[in-house]
Amino acid sequence: MTTPGRRWRAFKNGFAITLCGVAVLVALAPLLSVLWLVVKNGAPALGLDFLTKLPAPVGESGGGVGNAILGTLAIVSLACAIGLPIGIGAGVFLAERGDGKFGGAVRFTAEVLSGVPSIVVGIVAYGLVVLPMKRFSALAGAVALALLMVPPLARSTEELVRLVPRALREGALALGVPAWKTSLFIVLRTARPGLITAALLAIGRAAGETAPLLFTALNNQYWNVRPDQPTASLTVQIFNYAISPYEEWRQKAWACALTLLLLIGFLSLGARFLARSPGEAR
Amino acid sequence: MAAANSSTSESIPVTPAAPGGRRAFSGDRVYAGALAAAGIAILLVALLIAATTANTARPALARAGLWGFITGRDWNPVEDIYGALPFIWGTLVTSVVAIVLAVPVAVAFAIFLVEFAPSRSRSLLRFVMELLASIPSVVYGLWGLFVLVPLLREHVEPALGRFSFLPLFRGAPLGVGTLAAGVLLAIMILPTIASVSVEVLRTVPSTLREGALALGATRWEAVRIAALPYGRAGIFGAALLGLGRALGETMAATMVIGNSPEISASLFAPGYSLPSIIANEFSEATSALHIGALAALGLILFVVALILNIAARLLVRAVVGKFERSSS
């Protein structure tokens, strides 16, 4: 039975599927363009000097962003020291004892906090650390990044811990292992590959943050590892170079961007690799 | 996933240990205390953000009043005059442009991934989504400044200029401006909207889809009749999450919006957004009033983002929760 609309409907079907396919291409285009141009414009300037030297003043050739790379690593490490324990702890709390009203409130807060603009968190770190210390510092930047890191990490930790089979936990408890040891050495250990992946992804996101560092860690022309001093970071360096009027600095912005993408890429590659490693977790 | 959840999700009653086992008892208490402290820390973070921002903003709000501050059209740090309206306007316009451009593409992307794509290419599409999400915003800003802006100036804006009977497309094609910021934000919020939409569409029971197909619906009709109505609230939530991200996105907007506090109906005109002015002026602000005014802008941003995110999460939960209840 051929209804008159049948071909029209078949056409609409094909048309809609094609449109959805076009949407995929539309999404793909900027991604490829960004990646390609960062590699193309960044690669020529990238070299050992660029990765290890201090920035050169305008007009002088050479120079690098070694201090910014070190700064990013320092700020992010410090942020991890603050953020990872709290985020993972909160996640375990949600998974193991989070079924009550209080747990529900914590879970919802974590979800909503994941959407708070990072620049607002920068203001918070400014008020909490910069104002009392009366100076910009790596610590202030790290506090901002840690605040950003905790809520999403708590949520992903919760999901990973919930995936651990209940039988493992019951087995340990049945053998008389105290609940806290069960949680730390059985449950968390089983979830470990997943947790490492989640942590690496969180670190990658933190390393890419710019806005909350602008007025917390600020910037620094020189090497610095002291947490109470202003510190350079790759992202802030990209921003400063990009908006500068000098062609050679703009060139360096691309090279910085390539360095940053490589850093984040290694982290997420590592995360993928660990997530897949020998049939634990899933 | 939900099935795995439901088998482990009821928490195991943590035995408060028999009175005899004192050692185990104290270890459990310390551990429980530490976990609860981490949970409380999350709530504390929320309070901390609200309190610190409000406290830093107080001098400015005390001076002009909340309403006076929001409706003030002038921003002049030299004379200590602070009004938020141009920034609220810029944020609104760029976010609306971003949403209008991003939602159709993102939802179509999600539909393609969940409903039409051959199963082998699904993980590739997911990877594309993750990659888009993982590029730092300052890199998008760099790309926007040196690729998108020239493209808009030379090709897109002159073409749109033909529609100059609409006030939206009037003025000189500068490249930098609210249109550039809106387009860039659209690219950046695309993965957010797409991934939440995917999550929502995946919860549509396959019986609904199969029922439609069995009645003779084409694949698209099955999506339109069965999947989309079921997930509508969740997709709306996804769009709200995207809007929340667009409002607060700082670096990319700062680098291409033109940074000039004007209120113009044209998308070609330079503007200024709430996060951009904070990013540009905060580190150089010295007077308590100036810092306060910037923090007050941050407070507005925080409150709006909070409302959007709460609404979005509730909507997404309504759909995904429906799924989890029915499958357990």
Q: Is B250 an 8 Å CB contact of chain A?
A: yes
Mean pLDDT of B213-224: 93
Residue A116 C-alpha, separation from nearest chain B C-alpha, in angstroms? 6
Query: Is residue B62 in some structural domain?
Result: no
Distance CA B75, CA B260 (A): 10
Which residue from B238, B205, B6 is spatially nearest to B114, judged by alpha carbons? Answer: B205
Provide the token pair at B47: 């309070």
Q: Which residues does residue B75 pair with via DSSP β-bridges, in sequence order?
A: B82
Amino acid at B149: V
Strands B81-82 and B75-76: antiparallel
Q: Which residues of A103-117 are buried (b: 16+ CB within 10 A; e: fewer)?
A: beebbbbbbbbbbbb
Query: Is residue B11 in some structural domain?
Result: no
Query: Is residue B45 in some structural domain?
Result: no
**B249-294 confidence digits (pLDDT tens):** 999 999 999 999 989 989 999 999 999 999 999 988 989 999 999 9
Which chain A residue's Cα is nearest to B275?
Answer: A119
Q: Which of A110, A117, A181 sits opposite B301 (nearest CB)?
A: A117
Q: What is the DSSP letter of A43?
A: G
Query: Is residue B58 in some structural domain?
Result: no
Query: Is residue B32 in some structural domain?
Result: no
Check A208 against B295: CB less than 8 A apart.
Answer: no
User: The domain spanning residue B145 has which CATH number?
Assistant: 1.10.3720.10
Handedness of CA B163, B167, B169, B173 (dihedral sign): positive
Q: Is B43 an 8 Å CB contact of chain A?
A: yes
So what's the pLDDT on residue A281?
43
So what's the pLDDT on residue A274?
77
Domain that holds residue B152: 70-327
Q: How far is CA B129 from CA A27, A47, A162, A198, B203, in A?
A: 9, 30, 25, 17, 19
Q: Is A218 helix (H, G, I), strand (E, B) or coil?
A: coil
Q: Is B6 an 8 Å CB contact of chain A?
A: no
Residue B6 has pLDDT above 50, yes or no: no
Q: Which of B8, B142, B219 sits opposite A253 (nearest CB)?
A: B142
Q: Which of B39, B106, B132 sits opposite A90 (nearest CB)?
A: B39
Q: Is B262 helix (H, G, I), strand (E, B) or coil?
A: coil
Among A2, A8, A20, A134, most B C-beta atoms within 10 A, so best to mutate, is A20
Residue B24 has pLDDT above 60, yes or no: no
- Average pLDDT value for chain B: 89
Which residue from A220, A241, A203, A212 is spatially nearest to A71, judged by alpha carbons? Answer: A220
Mean pLDDT of B92-103: 96
Which residue from A129, A115, A133 is spatially nearest to A79, judged by alpha carbons? Answer: A129
Mean pLDDT of B294-321: 93
Check A117 against B135: CB less than 8 A apart.
Answer: no
Q: Is B144 an 8 Å CB contact of chain A?
A: no
Q: How far is CA A2 from CA A8, A11, B216, in A?
A: 12, 15, 12
Query: Is residue B141 in some structural domain?
Result: yes
Spell out, as residue ranges, where chain A has pLDDT lower than 50: 1, 279-282
Q: Are B253 and B94 in contact (CB under 8 A)?
A: yes
Q: Are A238 and B139 in contact (CB under 8 A)?
A: yes
Q: Are A188 and A122 in contact (CB under 8 A)?
A: no
Name residues 257-276 of chain B within 8 A of A (Cβ): 275
The beta strands (E) that lie in B6-153 are given as 75-76, 81-82
Scanning the structure block, which residue is given the tokens 């985020």? A87
Mean pLDDT of B24-52: 90
Domain architecture of chain A: domains with CATH: 64-276 (1.10.3720.10)
Cα B26 to its chain centre, rounded Å, is: 44
Q: Are A95 and A195 in contact (CB under 8 A)?
A: no
Number of domains in chain B: 1
Distance CA A46, CA B281 (A): 31
Q: Which of B35, B116, B136 sits opposite A17 (nearest CB)?
A: B116
Query: Is residue B47 in some structural domain?
Result: no
Residue A60 C-alpha, separation from nearest chain B C-alpha, in angstroms? 23
DSSP code string of B174-185:
-SSSHHHHHHHH
So what's the pLDDT on residue A61?
77
Mean pLDDT of B66-89: 92
Provide the token pair at B294: 């910037």
Q: Which of B24, B52, B138 sits opposite A235 (nearest CB)?
A: B138
Q: Is A16 an 8 Å CB contact of chain B?
A: yes
Q: Is B91 an 8 Å CB contact of chain A?
A: no
Q: Are B175 and B157 in contact (CB under 8 A)?
A: yes
pTM of structure: 0.90
Question: Half-sphere exposure of B193 toward its Cβ, with a 13 Å CA cutoff?
Answer: 29
Query: Is residue B57 in some structural domain?
Result: no
Q: Is B286 an 8 Å CB contact of chain A?
A: no
Provide the token pair at B226: 């069965």
DSSP code string of A205-238:
HHHT--HHHHTTT---SS----TTS----HHHHH
